[in-house]
Amino acid sequence: MDLSYCVVNTNGREHLLACLASIRDHGPRGLEHEMLVVDNASEDGSADAVEEWNARPDGIGERLRLIRFESRQGKAALDALLLREARGELCLLLNEDSELWPGAARALVEAMRADPRAGAAGAALHDPSGVRQPSAWRLPGLGTSVASALFLHRLFVVESHGETTRDVGWVQSAAMIVRRAAAEQIGYLDSDFFVYSDETDFCKRLHGAGWRILYVPGAEVVHHEQLATDVVAGERRVVEFHRGRDLYMRKHHSPATVVIARWLAAWTYAFRSLVARILPGHDPAWYALHARQALHPERGEGLREAAAALNARLER
């Protein structure tokens, strides 16, 4: 098997159907492939919609495998499950709210085949309006924390520049192709991360095992950022974001670096909160929330607690 498309869906029915359609319409011809979809205890009929789509004449039913979960799991755990279940030499991890542009999957496959030491590669992500977004970064550390605190992150942290494939620190799992053998070697994604910083940790461990991470600007993908636009889950998302980032720092850096990184991140958001008071269209309270969570990531309830509450309700 050449390629496995691996999609995790959580209450993203319409985005998921668009993602599957983009795979069907823009996947590279001539490659033996499969499609795996995990439905993460969705409550919007996503799983039934996939089965209906799969049964239509324009679907590719014999190549799509749906795995239903009756309880809500973390994204890292489900991506790890898909990598274990996949049969492809290469596995393209996609969020349900990612859509492949023509040629995207082929560009990622060709980049991986051209570099046998590439363990993973990320696409160039665009917002729904088509504007290219930062998609690759240096691995987090004291240097990146200082650069961000000085608001020099676009120069010294973001690495998704230019139009040629290049080595980078880490890429987003919204559209990340993985060499299955490399993932198996390092033990897949770490399920201690619920949803954020899991791919950062994954890329860090790939680097540590001697693999390279690539950014492939020729592979273009629209990322709708469904989770980021969910206003109801906004505060929980902020809690989970800083919890994941702090877990990464504690896992890979010294206690002193962890403390310094917390204070620098808190300063960055606190300054933005002050500036937001005089700039129209910005919410100072939102940045202030980020500042508090950056300094005290152990506080608050995040997406993990929301999932636990949902699972308790489903069990009852």
Number of helices (H), then strands (E), belonging to the chain: the values are 12, 11
Arithmetic mean of pLDDT, 272-292: 92
Position 58 scores a pLDDT of: 59
Identify whether residues 87 and 177 lie together within a single domain.
yes
CA–CA separation, 215 vs 133, rounded Å?
Answer: 13
Summary mean pLDDT of the chain: 93
Give the CATH number of the domain where residue 201 resides: 3.90.550.10
CA–CA separation, 185 vs 201, rounded Å?
Answer: 14
Arithmetic mean of pLDDT, 223-248: 81
Is the pLDDT at 312 greater than 80? The verdict is yes
270 vs 281 pLDDT, higher one: 270
**To the nearest whole percent, how much of the chain has pLDDT over 70?**
96
Position 53 scores a pLDDT of: 85
**Chain segment 80-97, per-residue pLDDT in tens:** 999 999 999 999 999 999
Q: CA-CA distances (angstroms) from residue 36 to 58, 84, 98, 264, 294?
A: 17, 11, 15, 40, 35
Is the pLDDT at 250 greater than 90? The verdict is yes
Identify whether residues 74 and 12 lie together within a single domain.
yes
Identify whether residues 116 and 163 lie together within a single domain.
yes
In single-letter form, the type of residue at position 172 comes to Q
Identify whether residues 199 and 242 lie together within a single domain.
no
**Chain segment 166-225, per-residue pLDDT in tens:** 999 999 999 999 999 999 999 999 999 999 999 999 999 999 999 999 999 999 999 987
**Chain segment 48-73, per-residue pLDDT in tens:** 999 888 887 555 555 789 999 999 99
Sign of CA dihedral 88, 90, 92, 93: positive
In a domain, 161, yes or no: yes
In a domain, 62, yes or no: yes
Arithmetic mean of pLDDT, 228-245: 81
Local confidence band at 226 (pLDDT 50, 70, 90 cut-offs): low
pTM of the full structure: 0.93
Nearest C-alpha neighbor of 34 from the set 87, 85, 106: 87
Instruction: Provide the β-strand partners of residue 176.
Output: 93, 122
Identify whether residues 155 and 256 lie together within a single domain.
no
Instruction: Provide the β-strand partners of residue 136.
Output: 171
Is the pLDDT at 27 greater than 90? The verdict is no
Identify whether residues 172 and 280 lie together within a single domain.
no
Identify whether residues 296 and 193 lie together within a single domain.
no
Local confidence band at 232 (pLDDT 50, 70, 90 cut-offs): low
- Domain hosting 292: range is 234-315
Token pair recorded at residue 274: 């002050």
In a domain, 116, yes or no: yes
